[in-house]
């Protein structure tokens, strides 16, 4: 999960954009009612505009505007795609931009890049393509170690 609070200027329109990419090797999306990896199955990604006082994992009333969400039946991959959204309705307020991904069925790479509002580039940390590959490898290795230890303890 990545998030950043954004102050929406008063008295002007605020058009924003983000580039989204994903690759789901399991071929299945499951939209559970939360963002917990302990809820099995749960294989989803989403981008939301949140109330900053809401919990980081909130998918209910704290979500002011859902910008993107994977759903069962969606394609297994999405190339770099720009999403344009308008925050003008929140002028004079601070909102939270949140990108979240959960997967407990297998490898699911999700990335955002080039988050912009007006002329500003948001300071939300993003991973480039090589960074995503490295992160996926590290997480895959950690999962393999965890599964091996679990199997050893069960024996």
- pLDDT, one tens digit per residue, over 5-29 is 999 999 888 999 999 999 999 999 9
Rounded to the nearest 10°, the torsion over CA 106, 113, 70, 47 is 120
Whole-number pLDDT of residue 141:
72
Q: What is the C-alpha to C-alpha distance for residues 103 and 150, in angstroms, rounded to an integer?
A: 19
Q: Which position has the higher pLDDT, 153 or 64?
A: 64
Rounded Cα gap, residues 129 and 111, in angstroms: 8
Distance CA 74, CA 83 (A): 16
| pLDDT 10s digits, 94-139 | 999 999 999 999 999 999 999 998 776 555 555 566 666 666 776 7
Domains and CATH numbers, the chain: 2-125 (2.60.120)
Q: In whole numbers, what is the pLDDT of the chain averaged over residues?
A: 88
Q: For residue range 36-56, what is the model confidence (pLDDT) as tens digits?
A: 999 999 999 999 999 999 999
pLDDT at 88 over 60: yes
Q: How far apart are CA 100 and CA 45, in angstroms?
A: 6
Residues 99, 3: contact at Cβ < 8 Å? Answer: yes
The sign one gets for the Cα dihedral 33, 2, 89, 18 is: negative
């Amino acid at each position: 999960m990545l998030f950043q609070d954004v102050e929406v200027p008063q008295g002007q329109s605020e058009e924003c954009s983000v580039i989204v990419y994903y690759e789901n090797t399991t071929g299945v999306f499951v939209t559970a009612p939360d963002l917990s990896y302990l809820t099995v199955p749960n294989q989803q990604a989403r981008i939301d505009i949140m109330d900053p006082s809401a919990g980081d994992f909130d998918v209910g009333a704290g979500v002011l505007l859902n910008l993107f969400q994977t759903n069962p039946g969606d394609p297994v991959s999405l190339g770099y795609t720009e999403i344009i959204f308008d925050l003008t309705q929140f002028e004079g307020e601070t909102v939270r931009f949140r990108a979240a991904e959960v997967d407990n069925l297998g490898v699911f790479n999700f990335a955002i890049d080039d988050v912009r509002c007006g002329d500003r580039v948001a300071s939300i940390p993003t991973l480039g393509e090589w960074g995503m590959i490295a992160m996926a490898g590290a997480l895959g290795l950690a999962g393999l170690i965890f599964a091996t230890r679990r199997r050893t303890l069960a024996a």
